[in-house]
Structure 1
Amino acid sequence: MAVNAEGFSFEQRHGKERVRVGRVWKNRAGRHFFVEWNVSINLLSDCAAAYLRDDNSDIVATDTMKNTVYVKAKECSEHISMEDFAIVLAKHFTSFYHQVTTAIVKIVEKPWERVYIDGQLHEHGFKLGSEKHTTEAIVKKSGALQLTSGIEGLALLKTTKSGFEGFIRDQYTALPETRERVLATEITAAWRYSYESLSSVPQKPHYFTERYLDVKKVLVDTFYGPPKEGVYSPSVQNTLYLMAKSVLNRFLDISSIQLKMPNIHFLPVNLKNKDNQTIVKFADDVFLPTDEPHGSIQASLSRSWSKM
């Protein structure tokens, strides 16, 4: 909320970034559950006096925010989803401090996965996976909620069933048209839930963890198509849209989704010199992997009533 400061419009927020916490839960059967979270907190609060008049009496210290993360992690005696933990933190700051009007909590989960030994899930062994689970909870003192979840670093590749044709050609165009290429990307996705208040959030344990896994599966399945025949992609743009539409069609509690899908190029190798333009012409079997420059494709898809 902006305030008038000597004829200027002044807005502020403060918080704590990159609070790292690991949490282990142990059930009665002896199985351990482990998460590693990187937590960022920002508070919108009535503490303008600290900036304008050298008065710190309304400031929640950022060190206190850090300590609160560990205390609340300890208080969660049962294995909890990352989204629910973000809501727990944000609700604490808005309810405990009368100065705080809004709390914004972002969390990135490091992808520790339970290992298999001799075909069985290990009770307390974990290995580091790849893509990361993300969330952001914005909670107002009134109980209003904005909840977003997402994925970072979901790397997908298929070796066929991809092309790119019919695009604009001009004097600067060198790219040949093709119906046969490698399609590779590293997806960043964010989806907004339709829950708009703390009281409307599902109380089912691990609801959001299960929803995250379900959304990831829909994205992956749509990208690849059926395991035997696959599905043809005429462009990254079209594949992105079909993936976003599949998520909204499948999950009615998701109001919008944003996808970023860089086109990571694998260039067919063609050895040549000034005397011979084709020393060796490889037939879509040997490629030069590149990660820069790469195409940048992104879009969002929302239901008509979504506020994202």
Structure 2
Amino acid sequence: MVTVLGQNQYGKAEVRIVRVSRDTVPHRVKDLTVGIALSGDLAATHLTGDNSAVLPTDTAKNTVYALARQHGIACIEEYGGLLARHFVDTQPAIHRARVRIEEYGWSPIASPAFPHSFVRDGGEVRTTEVVRDGSGLRIVSGVTGLIVMNTTASEFRGYVKDRYTTLRETSDRVLATEVNARWHLVAGGDGMSADDFDTSYTRTRRHLLDAFAQTYSLSLQQTLYAMGHHVLENHPETDEIRLSMPNKHHFLVDLEPFGQKNDNEVYFAADRPYGLIEGTVHREGVTPVIPVD
């Protein structure tokens, strides 16, 4: 039997990059997932294992970061063209480069006083859990998938260190999380109309965002408590709120090997593993009723 090599390509998939521009008010965030596929005179690597024409996929990943730092990201079409031209123009064996980019939008949370605080557009889900038993009606409202980020005004230091600790202390970091919150309405929301429930949800969401933006964070735990406290302080119809907030880590990319400085501008957005911070904030004397998952 005779076989031949057909169409082939290779590249790097799902390169996560966050580019922060701090010279505007508010800060400008470009949050992308980039996929690269390269093809050309690459038969030898398949047929004989000769890699002399192969640009490593790790190099392709590094190129995504380096060109973002060097040229910025005005829009994904322009940035995609920059990447595609780079691979074809600099690699003799590469005749075709396909670049696919997904962009995730972010909107400022608050006023110009907090230019570093953002909420990701779309994706959040409003929830409720209603229980009727012998003690009456219990209503727990909530939101999941509310993704927020501070591009600065966050640090993490002074923590316990043992022989396995490698994490470095930082006085300036990106703080990003997904807010998953549930709050208990006093007396089962007795007397509240549909409009009242809608208004309560909108106001609670707003106060969660305001507290996230206004809190200078020394830890995600501190931010969680500040958000819960702010909701209860402004919502007499709520007596308890439970928050679950994963720490969506953003790591600075080391661009020194490419002769570039990275002054808190280009990040790798990791999706796992992640720290998970959870806690309940309730009024004094109230027995919590929201279950712990």
TM range (shorter): 0.5 to 0.7
Tell me, in whole angstroms, the C-alpha distance in 2 between the residues paired with 1:290 and 1:232. 23
Q: Equivalent of 1:302, from 282, 285, 288?
A: 282
Q: Equivalent of 2:157, from 165, 182, 194?
A: 165
Q: Within the alignment, does 1:215 sit opposite 2:208 as a pair?
A: no
SS of 2:243's equivalent in the other structure is: strand
Alignment-derived partner of residue 144 in structure 1: 136
1:205 Cα offset (Å): 3.7
Q: Kindly report which structure 2 residues correspond to 1:1-308, keeping only aligned pairs within 5 A, or say none.
A: 129-140=122-133, 142=134, 144-196=136-188, 201-225=190-214, 231-271=215-255, 280-303=260-283, 304-308=285-289
Tell me, in whole angstroms, the C-alpha distance in 1 between the residues paired with 2:229 and 2:192. 27
Tell me, in whole angstroms, the C-alpha distance in 2 between the residues paired with 1:204 and 1:271. 56
1:189 Cα offset (Å): 0.2
1:143 Cα offset (Å): 7.0
Tell me, in whole angstroms, the C-alpha distance in 2 between the residues paired with 1:129 and 1:191. 21
Distance 1:307 1:299, change over 3 A: closer
SS of 2:153's equivalent in the other structure is: coil
Distance 1:290 1:206, change over 3 A: same
1:255 partner letter: D
Kept in 2, the 8 Å contact 1:270–1:279? The answer is no
1:272 Cα offset (Å): 6.2
Tell me, in whole angstroms, the C-alpha distance in 1 between the residues paired with 2:213 and 2:159. 23
Tell me, in whole angstroms, the C-alpha distance in 2 between the residues paired with 1:261 and 1:143. 31
Distance 1:280 1:147, change over 3 A: same
Q: For structure 1, which runs of at least 5 residues remain unmatched after alignment?
A: 1-127, 226-230
Q: Number of residues paired by the alignment?
A: 168
Distance 1:205 1:149, change over 3 A: closer
1:260 partner letter: S
SS of 1:262's equivalent in the other structure is: strand
Larger relative contact order (CA 8 Å, sep ≥ 6)? 2
Tell me, in whole angstroms, the C-alpha distance in 2 between the residues paired with 1:205 and 1:260. 27
SS of 2:227's equivalent in the other structure is: helix
* TM, length-normalised to structure 2: 0.54
Tell me, in whole angstroms, the C-alpha distance in 1 between the residues paired with 2:130 and 2:281. 20
Tell me, in whole angstroms, the C-alpha distance in 2 between the residues paired with 1:129 and 1:172. 39
Q: For structure 2, which runs of at least 5 residues remain unmatched after alignment?
A: 1-120
**Percent of aligned positions with the same letter in both sequences?**
35
Tell me, in whole angstroms, the C-alpha distance in 1 between the residues paired with 2:163 and 2:135. 57
Distance 1:133 1:269, change over 3 A: same
Tell me, in whole angstroms, the C-alpha distance in 1 between the residues paired with 2:192 and 2:260. 62
SS of 2:132's equivalent in the other structure is: strand
1:306 partner letter: T
Q: Could you say what the CA RMSD is over the residues aligned between the two structures, in angstroms?
A: 1.9
